Structure 1
Amino acid sequence: MDITFDHVDFTYQAGTPFAGDGIKDVTATIHDGSYTAIIGHTGSGKSTILQHLNALLKPTKGTVTIGDFKITNETSNKNLKPLRQKVGMVFQFAENQLFEQTVAKDIAFGPKNFGVSEEDAAKLAEQMVKLVGLPDDVLEKSPFDLSGGQMRRVAIAGVLAMQPEVLVLDEPTAGLDPAGRQEMMRMFDQLHKEQGLTIVLVTHQMDDVADYADHVLVMEAGHLVKSGSPREIFSDEDWLNEKQLGVPTTTRMANRLKRRGFVFDPMPLTEAELADQLVPQLGGASRE
């Protein structure tokens, strides 16, 4: 299902002396089946955008359309439960949301809350543990006896057990070491490709945007200032640096090599793309 923002404003504590703009006049579409990254420095409006994706926040002005749901300032919470099942939210340090005595109970909690039988919820827990790459024997363990990375996977399994169509990720690798971050990002990419999930990712990691996203929204001071493919967004290094965003590591390296006479067309975003263009210029064989 597509998600569309149509001239959306959101004001925190609207109508009070403490009112402050969260987002202003945002118009954008996140297409069904896409992998969309939202980037911007702290305070740019990224998290405000995310909280509109399942109506945790509702627009002060404008309309957010999520599949068949139209969300405005007048929308009642009464009929939003089906929407919140379709859009799964994984917040920073998702492991802090764990609370049940066992992994199986924690994963099954959400589906049971939406009317799934205890037996079917238990089966879902077994399936989701496998999906996030955890061994079966964790099901009867306390989630608090697991490692930090395993706990985060359990929390993500609980979101996936709701069988959402859209998975929203707010800095999902925060606090993980580089190896753990790479494993987590590969898992999300696999879910995107194999389960057909629409992914919406907020991140400060430009390498992850280049490696995985097919669409990018750039936020600044509550405004959507640019959108396009990663190649379009990362083509202007000066503009990105001005916005305090930087570029992927590979692109930064290619720009340095370009100043030394190497030629790149298009500008590489990933290590594989860099190797494919660099090896022939160094007189080597093409990369298999």
Structure 2
Amino acid sequence: MDITFTNVDYTYQANTPFQGVGLRDINLTIHGGSYTAIIGHTGSGKSTLLQHLNALLKPTAGTVQIGDRTITPATNNKNLKPIRQKVGMVFQFPESQLFEETVLKDIAFGPQNFGMSADKAHQRAEEMAELVGLPKETWEQSPFDLSGGQMRRVAIAGVLAMQPEYLVLDEPSAGLDPLGRQEMMDLFNKLHRENGLTIVLVTHQMDDVANYADQVVVMEHGQVIRTGTPREIFANEQWLVDKQLGVPKTTHFAEVLKQQGFQFEPLPLTEDELVTALLPQLLRQGGAANE
């Protein structure tokens, strides 16, 4: 299932003295099966774009094609449940949305709300709890007794219990320590690689973009100003700095090494690429020194 934006505008509080532009002339396709990262400085429209992916917001102008459904400014809010089931949203600090007495009850809430029997929803909840790495001893605990990282896993499991085709993530690692952040990103990558989930990720972490995404969308002032692969987007460090963004730490380090005489073509984006490009040069230097 693809999601396609065609000439999409979105205006907050339209036709009031407080109206403001959220999106302007968005033309973009997110292909099913892809891993898309959306980057841009604060206020660039990233979160507004995300909320159009499952019709939480409807365009002020233009259309959003979600699979076989066309969302327009005139689309009725009824009968949007199938879209919400296909496109699962995980907002910043999703643990704030937890409310049930136990972990399994919270995970099972969504499927039951969509008509699944209590027994099947409970079974689904157990499967999702195991999938996201929640220890069995936590399943009957209150989610509020868990660590922050575990609470976030409960919230994500609740979204996955709906068996969406898309998993939409708005800064999902915000507030987590480095280990917790890495565990979250590894989980999403596993879901993408092994379960075929389409991932859409909003992040300020350029390392995550380089390590996981296959498509990057750059936003500014409510517009898409560039799309491409991570290698294409990160090819011009100065352009990214001018846009108040950055490059992966590995790429920046490689730029520093270039000033010391090392050669990289193309510039490495990940640690593995850096090691592969750097090791032969270090070995040659070592051999020359021995001579």
TM-score (norm 2): 0.97
Task: Give 3-state SS (helix, strand or coil) of 2:153's partner.
Answer: helix
The residue aligned with 1:122 is: 122
Q: What whole-Å deviation, never above 9, does each CA across 1:215-265 have from its counterpart, x for those lacking one? A: 000000111000000000000001000001010000000111112221111
What secondary structure is seen at the aligned counterpart in 1 of 2:261? coil
Structure 2 counterparts to residues 109-258 of structure 1, below 5 A: 109-258=109-258
Displacement of 1:276 in angstroms is 0.1
2: CA distance, partners of 1:81 / 1:169: 19
Alignment of structure 1 residues 98-117 onto 2, 5 Å = 98-117=98-117
In structure 1, what residue type is equivalent to 2:216? V
The residue type equivalent to 1:74 in the other structure is A
Q: SS at the partner of 2:101?
A: coil
Share of identical aligned residues, percent? 71
Alignment of 1:42 onto 2:42? yes
SS at match of 1:283: helix
Flag the 1:127–1:110 CA change in 2: closer, same or farther, 3 A: same
1:31 aligned partner: 31
Aligned position for 2:12: 12
Paired residues for 1:34-113 under 5 Å: 34-113=34-113
For these two proteins, the number of residue pairs brought into alignment is 285
- Distance in 2 between residues matched to 1:62 and 1:145, nearest whole Å: 45
Instruction: Tell me how far apart the structure 1 counterparts of residues 56 and 81 of structure 2 sit (CA, whole Å).
Output: 11
- In the alignment, the residues of structure 2 paired with residue 259 and residue 24 of structure 1 have an alpha-carbon distance, to the nearest angstrom, of 40
**Secondary structure of residue in 2 paired with 1:268:** coil
Gaps of at least 5 residues in structure 2 are 286-291
> Could you list the runs of 4 or more consecutive aligned residues of structure 1 that deviate by over 6 angstroms after TM superposition?
none
Q: 1:137 Cα shift?
A: 2.0
Q: Secondary structure at the match of 2:32?
A: coil
1:3 corresponds to: 3
Residue in 1 that maps onto 2:289: none
- CA apart distance, 1:139: 1.4
Query: Could you tell me how far apart the structure 2 residues matched to 1:145 and 1:42 are?
Result: 32
Query: Could you tell me how far 1:284 is from its partner in structure 2?
Result: 6.6
Secondary structure of 1:201's counterpart equals strand
Specify the SS of the correspondent of 2:176.
coil
What is the distance in 1 between the residues matched to 2:40 and 2:136? 39
Separation in 2, partners of 1:158, 1:33: 21
Aligned-residue Cα RMSD (Å) equals 1.0
Letter of the structure 1 residue corresponding to residue 170 of structure 2: D
Does the residue aligned with 1:168 lie in a helix, a strand or coil?
strand
Please give the secondary structure, in 2, of the residue aligned with 1:83.
helix
Structure 1 segments unaligned to the other structure (5+ residues): none
Q: TM-score, normalised by structure 1?
A: 0.98
SS in 1 for 2:260: coil
Local SS of the residue matching 1:254: helix
Alpha-carbon spacing, 1:278–1:73, altered in 2? closer, same or farther (3 Å): same
Q: Distance in 2 between matches of 1:44 and 1:226?
A: 13
Tell me the distance in 1 between the aligned counterparts of 2:258 and 2:33.
35
SS of the equivalent of 2:36 reads strand
- Distance, in Å, in 2 between the alignment partners of 1:280 and 1:42 is 41
Structure 1 distance, partners of 2:243, 2:166, is 28
